[in-house]
Structure formats: C-alpha cells, structure tokens
Amino acid sequence: MEEQKTEYEAAENNLTADGLRPVSTLQDDAPSDENRRGFLKTAGIAALASVVSVPFSRFFPEGLQPVGLAHAAGGDMDAYAFKDQLTLLNDRPINAETAAHLLDDRVTPANRLFIRNNGQVPEHALNMDASDWKLTIDGEVDKTIELTLDELKSNFENVTRQLVLECGGNGRAFFVPGASGNQWTTGAVGAPEWTGVRMRDVLNAAGVKPSAVYTGHYGNDPHLSGDPEKVAISRGVPIEKAMEEDALIVWAMNGEDLPAIHGFPLRTIVPGYPGSASQKWLTRIWVRDQVHDGPKMGGYSYRMPAYPVAPGTEVPTEDMVIMTTMPVKSLITSPATGTQMTGKTLDIRGHTWADGDVASVHVSHDFGQTWQEAKLEKPVNRYAWQHFSATIELPQAGYYEIWSRATDMEGRTQPVTTPGWNPRGYGNNMVHRIAVLAG
C-alpha cells in the first residue's frame, strides 16, 4: 500500500506548466487517502474477523482487503456484490464509480451503473419486499393520496425512457485545490432505460395548488447514525421541473426491478439535474410552498457560489445557490486509456450529454492545437446520451492524449481545464482525456 500511495503522491506532483498532468499518470481507480484509510478501517481483516473465525489473521498483510469480505459482510455489501469492476470509493455509505471504458454500452447495464448513497440500504430493499410499501403525495395539493406499487403501475400511463443519471460531483477529483467529498473522476454517470410513470401525472392526481413552488422527496434509507428520527437526504426540484415530460417516478431499470442498491421498489429520475434530485427508496413527495429545506439542501450541499471565486476561497453559505442544470460533457469509452497500438490509425467512440441535445463533438490528438469533428448520433429521446465516433490518424510513434470536447445547442463547450472552482467540487465538465501509445 505504501508503494501505491507514493505513486499517487508522485502523480500529484507531476504537473505541467498549465496545471495539467499527463493523463497517463492519473489512476481512474485511485481513491483519496482519506477514503482509502476509511475503507481499510471499516472493511479490513478486523471487520471480517468480527463475523467469522479467521485463522492466522495476525499474518494478514496490512492494507489488503479480504477477497471474501463482500460475501461475509452482509447488508449493503451484499447488495453491492453484483457490480462489475466498479471502483469502491467509500463503503459507509457505499459510493462507487465506473471506469470510462466499462461504460461503452449504448445502454448502461445495472451492474455497471455508479452508486451514490447517503444512508444505508433499507431492509425491505435488501429483501426485495414491496408488500407494505406506499407512496404519499401531500402538501400543497387538493387532496393527500397514498398509492401502492400496483396502483401506481395500473392507474397511470407507463413510460420507458433512456435518461442520463450523473452525480453533481462527477469530476471532483480534478479540482485544485481539492474539494471535500467522494473523489469521483469521470465514472459517476450512466444512462440506463427507466420504466415508470410521469411525476406530473401523479402530482396532478393529487391536484397541485397554484401555491406550489418546490417538491421535497423522501426515501426510507436509514441514516448512518442509526437514529430513526434523522433523514439521510431529502432534496427536491422546482415544481416546473417536476412537471416536465421526462421527470419520472420509476420502478424498473432496463426492464427489471430496480436493484436494492439503486432504490427498490421506487425512485425518482429527474434528468438534467444532479443525481441527488433523483431520490431512492421513494416514500413521499411533499409539495411545498417554498424552496425545499430538507437535509442536503442547504449550506454547501449541491450548491455553487453565486459569483466566480478564486480557488480555495471560503464562500459564505448565504452566497451559495442551488445547483440545477448539469453542464455539457463527453466521455471516450473506447479505447481504454493506456492502450498500446501497433499502428497509427485509432478508432474512438464515446457518449455525450447535456441539458438538451448536444450540437457537436470534436476530438484532438495534439493537446488541443487542432480539433477534428466527430460523427454524432441523435439521442433516442430527450435526456438520453448521444454516441460519437471518429477515426484519428496519428503522425508518428509516441505518446498521445486523445481529448473529446462537446458543445451544446447554446454554444457552451467543455473547457480544457477545470471550470470555476467551488468548495464542494461540483459541475466539472473539463474535456475528457485518454492516453494511448502509438507504434
């Protein structure tokens, strides 16, 4: 572990003149020291020994994770076990991201969708039991309604959409100075197909009053403290956003029940907004006559400075505003970074997304000196990601970085370096970079 830690520290010091370091020195799966220590503290050999006898445990190498831990730990780790090659950033609560090349599927499979949790996975979800589950709609409505899962499925039009889900902190690891929180690189994003009902149809069934301003979403995920009176997270969206065509209440991902760790039996999907607005294990939508003030709505949580600030600035909380739409982005999913080529012709492909359609994607092999337009497909529906591809001719043997840069319909484009610094590292949409060795 000490050797690995030294490698990370060396990479941090290997800065180029403009503040970028070669992408070949970056480890997509490199957790922060804080998260690494926290994980080893809670998920090492001692944790395993607490539930099963481990002969010779005194000889177990320090810093190594027992390979059988996921199967022995039970609970949340069992719910995580079906994931395929995700990088675990934190285990309490579970947060994990997906390497870019593992997101190459046009529709993200459930076992490769990132995980962002704030509390624990509820017991009913671990047991995949929705028999006693109900959704309540109350607040600024004509009548409070309660719906079972069967009633939700049968009383409203069912819709299926491919929608991008992305954590607001995706890309946080690249801000300098660093920002607190899970050190996501590029993999806190995915675009599965979701099946459910329109949120507006359910809200209209309760009768939304003219006084409605915001929604407040509640799930039944237990707080990490174990205190049943505490709420792990409760965020919401402006009522106009909740009433959009593509804001959904869903029970299925890719044609199957939501996995336990992704919100079984029900969650919201609010595309275009940070993933925190897409509440898991949904039990209540409280229609408010003011901006929702639940846990993770105030302070620095999912909020940005109201004005540009210098890196490292301590911004007063009263000058922070709620993060709404996510910025335009792109992701090269093939080839994988670090690929060694035998020739000089390189075929690349990837995905791009924005709050609306993406107008164009360009790629560069010379550190942004020239840009080549990629072939761009239309999305299958609004808020689905779009696929791009290009063939690049590399002039000679050597080390190259392939950069992708997307531009939305409003002309907003990805910057080469991290955009406006903010205390929690939200909204990083810098160009995506991979490293290849030609010849």
Would you say residue 183 has pLDDT above 80? yes
Q: Which of 51, 75, 104 is the last residue of a domain?
A: 104
Q: Is the pLDDT of residue 189 over 70?
A: yes
Question: Looking at the domain assignment, is residue 233 inside a domain?
Answer: yes
Which residue among 69, 104, 139 closes a domain?
104
Question: What percent of the chain shows pLDDT beyond 90?
Answer: 79
- Single-letter residue type at 390: A
pLDDT digits 0-9 by tens, 157-176: 999 999 999 999 999 999 99
pLDDT above 60: residue 139: yes
- What average pLDDT does range 210-236 have in this prediction? 96
The answer on 430 and 399 residing in a single domain is: yes
Nearest CA-CA partner of 332 in 23, 12, 14: 23
Domain membership of residue 261 (yes or no) is yes
Contact, 234 vs 292, CB < 8 A? yes
Burial (CB < 10 A; 0-12, 13-18, 19+), residue 344, is middle
- Mean per-residue pLDDT, 22-51: 50
- pLDDT tier at 65 (50, 70, 90 boundaries)? low
CATH number for the domain including 409?
Answer: 2.60.40.650
When pLDDT is cut at 50, 70 and 90, the band that residue 50 belongs to is: low
Tell me: do 382 and 318 sit in the same domain: no
Instruction: Please give the residue that has the higher pLDDT: either 16 or 408.
Output: 408
Residue 401 has a pLDDT of 95
Share the mean pLDDT of the chain.
88
User: Residue 131 domain-assigned?
Assistant: yes
Give the pLDDT band of residue 41 (cuts 50, 70, 90). Answer: very low
Asked if the model's pLDDT at residue 3 lies above 60, the reply is no
Indicate whether 174 and 305 sit together in one domain: yes
- For the segment 215-233, the average pLDDT, to the nearest whole number, is 95
Q: Name the residue range of residue 179's domain.
A: 124-322
Q: How many domains does the chain have?
A: 3
**Taking residues 32-42, what's their average pLDDT?**
41
pLDDT for position 32 = 44
Residue whose C-alpha is closest to residue 324's, from 299, 297, 351? 297
- pTM of the prediction? 0.85
CB 263 within 8 A of CB 219: yes
**Is 189 in the same domain as 290?**
yes
118 within domain boundaries: no
My answer on whether 78 and 134 are in the same domain is: no
Amino acid type, 298: G
Same domain for 208 and 88: no
Q: Determine, yes or no, domain membership for 112.
A: no
Residues 25, 136, single domain; the answer is no
Lowest model confidence (mean pLDDT) among 13-22, 104-113, 263-272, 320-329: 13-22
Least confident of 226-230, 278-282, 290-294: 226-230
User: Do 247 and 371 belong to one domain?
Assistant: no
pLDDT (average), residues 39-48: 54
User: What percent of the chain clears pLDDT 70, i.e. is strictly above it?
Assistant: 85
In a shared domain, residues 194 and 308: yes
Residue 157 has a pLDDT of: 98
Q: Which residues contact 221 (CB under 8 A, 6 or more apart)?
A: 117, 118, 119, 120, 121, 122, 232, 233, 280, 281
If you average pLDDT over residues 23-48, what whole number do you get?
A: 48
**Which residue in 34, 29, 9 sits closest to 21, CA to CA?**
9
Average pLDDT of the segment spanning 345-370:
96
pLDDT score of 115 more than 90: yes
Report pLDDT digits (tens) over 402-431. Answer: 999 999 999 999 999 999 999 999 999 999
Q: Which helix (H) or strand (E) holds 239?
A: helix 239-242
For residues 395 and 301, state if they share a domain: no
Q: Of 70-84, 213-227, 278-292, 305-319, which range is least confident?
A: 70-84
At residue 283 the predicted structure's pLDDT band, cuts being 50, 70 and 90, is very high
The model's confidence at residue 10, banded by pLDDT at 50, 70 and 90, is very low
- Evaluate whether residue 168 is within a structural domain: yes
Terminal CA-CA length for the chain: 33
Neighbours of 319 (CB within 10 A): 12
Of 115, 189, 156, 185, nearest to 384 by C-alpha is: 189
Mark whether 218 and 361 lie in a shared domain.
Answer: no
Question: Is 117 domain-assigned?
Answer: no
Q: Is the pLDDT higher at 237 or at 69?
A: 237
* Residue 110 belongs to a domain: no
Contact between 198 and 248 under an 8 Å Cβ cutoff? The reply is yes
User: Which position has the higher pLDDT, 42 or 184?
Assistant: 184
CATH number, position 186: 3.90.420.10
Whether residues 416 and 356 share a domain: the answer is: yes
- Asked which of 301, 322, 343 is the last residue of a domain, the reply is 322
Q: Long-range CB contacts (< 8 A, 24+ apart) of 104-107?
A: 104/333, 104/334, 104/349, 106/387, 107/162, 107/191, 107/192, 107/193, 107/254
